[in-house]
Chains A and B, each alone.
Chain A
Amino acid sequence: MGNMATVSATTEEVLMYARPESLENVYTHYCPGCTHGTAHRLVAEVLDELSLREQSILVASVGCSVFAYDYFAVDACEAAHGRAPAMATGIKRVHPDRVVFTYQGDGDLASIGMAEIMHAAARGEQITVLFLNNAIYGMTGGQMAPTTLAGQVTTSSPFGRDIQQTGHPLHMAELLAMLPGTAYSVRRSLHDARHVIQAKKAITTAFQAQLQGLGFSIVELLSSCPTNWHMTACEALDWVRDEMVAVYPLGDFKVSDELQKPRGKPAR
């Protein structure tokens, strides 16, 4: 991805859209049209704006974002499948003055990692979780996830997800909001520019919750997977808007009172 630049009337180059310092200058392995790239950029912009790059530690997970540590320009490690919140707990307890965040997909967080995410939230672990929900196992080629919609066809639900047999989609942002240890739990979507801007605001607030020591914070981001949904990039974004948002309502499910207090611009 090249940087977009505009040229002023005086031909002096003005960079309007630079790569955030918190992103490495490398190509990613993500498929064309996938919203991981958008989510990465948002997180990196927030790290830059809050001046957190040099004090942050990322715990990458297993799934499409397994190589997130190659892209974020921060100290990073790679957890076993589902265990990122436990690994982040170990790091945060040793370094309470550092900012620790995980970046997990829906198979990782809502299936195999259910115990770890619930207990990290229950403990009020001072970590921030970026949760990418694309209703499918992307890395392994499009199998049914715990977040797959009823009737959705995947490679392991070829006749469509039968909720009588395989249960219902899990609403993680709502579930985690129920726990007293959670300071911030919201769901946003990445399907158009307006929602991307809202997502970035939520990511900022989630990191602020950690900086203020208020407890566990999570932003669930509805994301597209054009490759495994067998759609074009634009069709996939429309599917997020039309199908996913209907099942996974956007909103704030838990916002700590401390975060709701009026505040100025984020401290730099």
Chain B
Amino acid sequence: MSSQLLKGNVALAEAAVRAGCEAYFGYPITPQTELLEHMSRRMIELDRVFLQAESEVAAVNMVYGAACAGARVMTSSSSPGISLMQEGFSYIAGSEVPAVVIDVMRGGPGLGNIQPSQADYNQVTKTAGHGDFHPIVLAPSTVQEAIDLTVLAFDLAEKYRTLVFVVVDGAIGQMMEPATLPPMQPLRPRPEWALTGATARERNIITSIHLGAEKLENFNRKLQDKLAVIEREEVRYDTLFTDDADLLVVAFGTAARVARTAVHNLRREGLPVGLFRPVSLWPFPEEALAELADRSWALLVVELNAGQMLHDVRAAVGRNIPIHFHGRMGGVIPMPDEIEKAVRNLVGKSTTELYTMSKEGENGQHGYRFSNN
């Protein structure tokens, strides 16, 4: 297959089509609308299911129904729409049916704006609906990776009968890059647990209700066992110059793209800087990060939010190493020189100074440093 210039949202949609997505339900919201529009044409051309729902709430519950019916199914939305879908995510998790969600994140809270943001980190990795569970969350940083991870998302959803998110921000959704699409996969046969009508077999029941404390606890134990397997088997991350890095930049998605450029520039100056890029936000690559952190003298976490992944970084590496934060919000994407400046600011400081800086910060918010650029 040859490379072609593809817009992120279209690439995500076409990757899903080629991964054998049989049904799509969605609702228009910027900056993911091209994804829905692409599906509206392609799915009908291929005689598959496309439906524009009356709301995100309805869309996610249609996804839930189609997942129960045994179809490879997907929805997509952006941050405020993802908030509305939380109800359905929890039911999907509680029923253990597979589904894929693409979140093209934008700035919040509230209506916020339509600029790129990573402020959904908590809402997708931590609180995707009520109850004790985590969806698998994959965070590409290029259009090509968005394609590859979308295909993977369907496979993981089915393998573990779970919810899988692919999260990008408006920048990746809207940018055009050369990328190669995968070959078209055939549609999957219905799994045996699916609702297909109890023709000459025992009937299937799919529900998320387990009345009785012990019964529900037993279900939750089973769910936690599954999540433990996912935590062990499905950790994904990428590294750049980490072998000899004294200072580690930690970033995902678009923030990692900018950080990558900054790290290359700083290396040319001879500074021992590396980049650690979580690809699976859940499960978070905490062991790999902790191992690298042991060999570094400081971390700089860069996010397009007020510091959400930061808490997972802290949980992973503990307090053995000073952790600094550089975040931009509201759709502002930092330029590489801004990150370079933040790194240079840490160079040559004593460990004590670094700890003091990381705790006090320039503006004191959460004890972490915010840029006022």
Contacts and interface: CB of A to CB of B under 8 A. Distances in A.
Interface of A: 53-57, 59-60, 66-67, 69-70, 73-80, 83, 86-91, 93-95, 98-99, 115-116, 118-119
B58 A83 contact: yes
B51 A119 contact: no
B54 A73 contact: no
Nearest to B201: A54
A80 B65 contact: no
B87 interface: yes
Contacts of B65: 59, 77, 79, 86-91, 94
B315 interface: no
B68 A93 contact: no
Given A69-B207, A76-B205, A115-B57, A90 B64 contact: yes
B108 interface: no
Nearest to A116: B58
B61 A90 contact: yes
Given A78-B208, A90-B69, A115-B54, A54 B88 contact: no
A94 B57 contact: no
Contacts of A93: 23, 49, 51, 62, 66
Nearest to A67: B209
Interface stretch (B191-199, B269-277, B304-312): B191-199
B91 interface: yes
Contacts of B208: 78
25 contacts: A54-B198, A55-B199, A57-B69, A57-B196, A74-B198, A75-B198, A75-B204, A76-B204, A79-B64, A80-B87, A83-B61, A83-B64, A83-B87, A87-B65, A90-B25, A90-B62, A90-B67, A90-B68, A93-B23, A93-B66, A94-B66, A94-B69, A115-B57, A116-B57, A119-B58
Contact of B71 (A78, A94, A118): A94
A55 B198 CA distance: 6
Which 9 interchain pairs have the tightest Cβ spacing? A90-B65, A87-B65, A86-B61, A90-B66, A90-B62, A83-B61, A78-B207, A119-B54, A94-B69
